[in-house]
Structure 1
Amino acid sequence: MPATHSSRMIILGSGPAGLSAAIYAARAGMAPIVVQGIQPGGQLTITTDVENYPGFRDVIQGPWLMEEMQAQAEHVGAQMMYDHIIDIDLSERPFKLTGDGGNRYFGDTLVIATGAQAKWLGLESEHLLQGKGVSACATCDGFFYRGKKVVVIGGGNTAVEEALYLTNHSHDITIIHRRDSFRAEKILQDRLFAHPNIKILWNKAVETFVGGGNPEGLVGLDLIDTVTGEKSHISADGAFVAIGHKPATELFVDKLPLDEGYLVVEKGTSRTSIPGVFAAGDVTDKIYRQAVTAAGMGCMAALDAERFLAEADFEAMVHA
């Protein structure tokens, strides 16, 4: 039978933002409930080597980091629920959420930390070589390709920014774009065209990511010309798919303000347009999208929610 759960705080999402919010909220005595969603642990669970999360001198594994964060949250009093929310009512407090199995969740506050997913090309070879030379985050993985040959796939701001960032690590960068012009902002294009270490392959699409070696890793890409159909091959040690991100905000369309699909929060805070509803991590961050920034936002959301409840409790007491 469907169950009903109530808490002073419901957290949607169990990546760095959601679990950090859970840790701070639990330590404040709010007994938060974390609804983990369809990808418990978030994007770090599909990331292998993590070298830029503070506190670890050696490379750590993404799944291990998320297991430790969850264990810490549970240790201080957070409750994990393995459920997927399909409906949400933000019209009044407590906010009401409904899981796909019929379970209902009521929260005096809500922290939305549903994250965002990198867009992929959808190739089988791309999936097979993820973490083995194929990545969707140059800031996360670019360091591993110092002095190596890399390619970036895409033509928008994301692709141009990734290529420019990679110049910190590689002297041989090629952008592969399926059209004959970029969609990126002109100032970014000017910087790109002026850089001597970046080459551009126009009107090319990736047909296959080619693996090799033992252990297997990316060794090149098979391309096809989008105009002539001519096939070609380029060797590469690393490939970064940079065709954008899609925030998980489907539940909040027409319920909360969105900017290019990302939840809008008050500048310098985690507060959304609805009092008591907060957003943290990649679901509201179109710029940085790092585990450490998501964790910081999760902390902000918990502190903002704690202050909100304290003020609401005081007003209720005065009114009574």
Structure 2
Amino acid sequence: MAATFELRDRRESTRERAPRFAPTTKRRAWRAASLAACVTLWQLVVYFRLSAGFITFANVPAPSDALPALWSLLHSPKLPMHLAASIWRVLAGFCVAAVVGVGLGLAIGRYRAVEDTVLPALEVLRPIPAVAWIPLAILMFPSSELSMMFITFIGALFPILLNTVHGVEGIDPRLVATARSLGTKPLALYTEVILPGAAPAIFTGLAIGMGTAWFCLVTAEMIAGQYGIGYFTWESYTLQNYPDIVVGMALIGALGMGSSVLVKRLGIALTPWYRLQETRR
């Protein structure tokens, strides 16, 4: 028996001495290497002017062309204005979409009458691409700024809404029944059972919605923008300044990825009761 306890103590001490962050560091290194490999492949296909008939890279700027353009933009006095305009439009549209999407999602997922009344119209609107909303947005809003925020709002709304609905529908009915049997009032039922149970799905929808809001940024700033990363990208195309197109796309991608990661981290911090076990290797 003593030998058994001694062996168990040795195993536990070995686990404690093992580097806890080694797998995370390894995965980050692997992802960085994957990204570097993609950039290297991009450089090679442009350098050799690869053409497969249906696609050609003869006129595509290479990463080596985009780096000087990025350096020039980083030293441009317009960069802070571009960033501020885009971030403000995305955050405004995203915040309104979060309030509307989560509120409607909680109601649709909980009450069948609300689902039958509201969801059919939303399902008809959901497949419409953001670019198709531009003429209507110009007609609906007197301000071009509001029109651009509306486009980002449309992009973020439906991922948030659908994930919230699925989160509410996935709650175990026994939890709701138990809360009701204990005399929980309707408001407390939402705040103490339904909202915590649907929170992981809600934050997943918020992270996806943040990414799609940035995805719709170029479409939004095509309307009448004078500043913004999307406007900078579109203007670079009209002026045939192709390296700046790559720079604008890369900035939108980096900002979208960074903001989505922040939303995911916030979700992890606010849902300590929910942890996914690591099943993938």
* TM-score (normalised: structure 2): 0.24
- Structure having the higher helix fraction is 2
The structure with the greater share of residues assigned to strand is 1
